Amino acid sequence: MTTIAKCTNCDSAFKVKDHLVGKAVRCPRCGEAFRVETSGRATKSTAKTTSVAEKNLAERKKQEPSVDPLLVEPSTELASSEGFFDTHEDVDAIYAATVVSAKQKKRQRQLIFMIASSSVAAILLIVGTVVAFQYVYDNADIPLELNIPVNIDVSKLEGNWRPSSDPQWGYTVRMPGEPEISTDDDKVRTLKLRDPQFGTMTLELRKEAHPEWNEFLAKVDRDEVFQGVPAANVMKISSEVTYHTDSVAVHRYILVSKDSRLTKNVAVVHKFSVEGTTITAMWSGKRDRIRSPEVLYFFSSLEILGDKYITH
């Protein structure tokens, strides 16, 4: 059953269910609050009164729940040009459903925010971890321990190792293949072997004296260290060690890529000066080959004027 309610402010009439009789509602057209009466007449709920009856009515109004018909979708059919609304819907149920829907939407927004925040935090954690590992990887020193030749079982070495020597230059070295030999005006002799398995092995002798290298605290110039190193422009010094053999100081440098994400190549460079000759013994290749017996044997097999210098 329905009752006709008429707004006291704009005189708009609309239907409400019987259980709303005597309760305060809000006009869906003008928004004014009023109380529905059985006779179809209405009184303003906000009007001020000094009578006892009106005070009691106001007290009952405070105790009774107020509903807002603005939450109700009015019927699209108009009974007359006076603005008659047919509201058969239960405004209490619609209000309750609206509250539940609003709570669900709020929980959905909170869930989306939590998922987005967790995703951003996870991405930042992953990026931070990668950057930290990259920093440690790029800045870590890579020690290279060279064994004495007698401790290397030559029969177990991979490749076809053969000696290469020249009495005029006074060197003897072993490589896993036939190296390319070049000479520049009898001032520079270079032996180079490029092998996809073992890397690149290089021996350079220059008729150039560097007696200052043999001083106890001597350092080799950076340009000298990087001379002849493949892709030297993207390499940096990871570690350096100087050790003395009799009166000769051997300077050993290990070079790595500035950005190891681009390449895993490394280089080991030995520099020393003997009786007016500057010697460079260098290997470059993949990082996982740096401690291989083949690399160690190449360095330890080097003899200059019958003496071994790179033995540890």
Each residue's pLDDT tens digit, 50-73: 455 566 556 665 555 544 444 444
Look at residue 60 in the predicted model and tell me its pLDDT.
Answer: 60
Closest to 280 (Cα-Cα) out of 215, 200, 195:
200
Look at residue 98 in the predicted model and tell me its pLDDT.
Answer: 73
Look at residue 95 in the predicted model and tell me its pLDDT.
Answer: 61
Render pLDDT for 17-44 as a digit per residue (tens, 0 to 9): 888 888 888 887 777 888 888 654 444 4
Which tokens sit at 8?
A: 């006291």
Q: How far is CA 289 from the centre of its chain?
A: 29
181 sits in which H/E element: strand 180-184
| Residue ranges in the chain modelled with pLDDT below 50 | 40-50, 66-89, 147
The pairs formed by 208-215 with CB atoms below 8 angstroms and a separation of 24 or more are 208/276, 208/277, 208/278, 209/273, 209/276, 209/277, 209/278, 210/273, 210/278, 211/273, 213/249, 213/251, 213/271, 213/272, 213/273, 214/244, 214/247, 214/248, 214/249, 214/272, 214/273, 215/249
DSSP bridge partners of 277:
274
Q: Are the CB atoms for 291 and 254 separated by under 8 Å? A: no
224 vs 287: CA distance, rounded Å: 22
Which tokens sit at 5?
A: 């309610």
CA distance to 4, 65, 135, 291, per residue, from 295 (Å): 102, 90, 27, 7
96 sits in which H/E element: helix 91-139
Look at residue 79 in the predicted model and tell me its pLDDT.
Answer: 38
The DSSP letter of residue 291 is T
11 vs 24: CA distance, rounded Å: 16
Amino acid at 105: K
The DSSP code sequence of 32-65 is: -EEEE-TTS-EEETT----SHHHHHHHHHHHHSP
Look at residue 88 in the predicted model and tell me its pLDDT.
Answer: 46
The DSSP letter of residue 225 is H
267 vs 285: CA distance, rounded Å: 7
23 vs 16: CA distance, rounded Å: 11
90-128 exposure pattern, b = at least 16 Cβ within 10 A, e = fewer: bbbebbeeeeeeeeeeeeeeeeeeeeeeeeeeeeeeeee
Look at residue 137 in the predicted model and tell me its pLDDT.
Answer: 64
- φ/ψ of 289, rounded to 5, equals -100, 0
Look at residue 122 in the predicted model and tell me its pLDDT.
Answer: 94
Look at residue 276 in the predicted model and tell me its pLDDT.
Answer: 92
Q: On the CB side of 132, how many CA atoms lie within 13 Å of its CA? A: 6
What's the predicted TM-score (pTM) here? 0.57
User: Could you give the 3-state DSSP secondary structure of residue 70?
Assistant: helix
